[in-house]
Amino acid sequence: MSRLLQVEHVSKIFGGLKAVEDVSMHVEEGELVALIGPNGAGKTTLFNALTGVSPATEGSVTFNGVSLDKKKPYQVAKMGIARTFQNIRLFHQLSVRENLQAAMTHRYKEDFVSSILRLPTFTKKEALVNGWTDEILAKLDLSDVGEMITANLPYGTQRRVEIARAVASDPKLIFLDEPAAGMNPEETADLTDLIRRLQSEFGLTVVLIEHDMSLVMNIAERIYVLEHGKLIAEGTPAEIQNNQAVITAYLGGGIHV
Binding-site ranges for other proteins (CB under 8 A): 51, 53, 72-74, 77-78, 82-83, 85, 89-94, 98-99, 101-103, 105-106, 108, 110, 112, 115-118, 122-123, 125-126, 129, 165-166, 168-169
* Shortest separation between residue 122's beta carbon and other proteins, angstroms: 7
Residues 6+ apart with CB under 8 A from 52: 68, 71, 72, 73, 75, 76
Choose between 85 and 202: whose C-beta lies nearer to other proteins: 85
Please check whether residue 33 is in contact with residue 3, taking contact to mean a CB–CB distance below 8 angstroms.
no
Choose between 77 and 246: whose C-beta lies nearer to other proteins: 77
Three-class secondary structure of residue 139 per DSSP: helix
Residue type, 45: T
Please check whether residue 45 is in contact with residue 178, taking contact to mean a CB–CB distance below 8 angstroms.
no
Choose between 149 and 213: whose C-beta lies nearer to other proteins: 149
- Pairing relation of β-strands 230-235 and 222-227? antiparallel
Choose between 109 and 256: whose C-beta lies nearer to other proteins: 109
Choose between 151 and 245: whose C-beta lies nearer to other proteins: 151
* Shortest separation between residue 204's beta carbon and other proteins, angstroms: 15
* Shortest separation between residue 256's beta carbon and other proteins, angstroms: 46
Choose between 157 and 192: whose C-beta lies nearer to other proteins: 157
Task: Classify residue 118 as left (phi > 0), alpha (psi -120 to 50) or beta.
Answer: left
Three-class secondary structure of residue 226 per DSSP: strand
User: Closest Cα to residue 159, out of 136, 134, 142?
Assistant: 142
* Shortest separation between residue 245's beta carbon and other proteins, angstroms: 32
* Shortest separation between residue 56's beta carbon and other proteins, angstroms: 17
The whole-angstrom separation of Cα 129 and Cα 135 is: 10
* Shortest separation between residue 115's beta carbon and other proteins, angstroms: 4
Distance in angstroms between the alpha carbons of the first and the last residue of the chain: 49
Please check whether residue 102 is in contact with residue 94, taking contact to mean a CB–CB distance below 8 angstroms.
yes
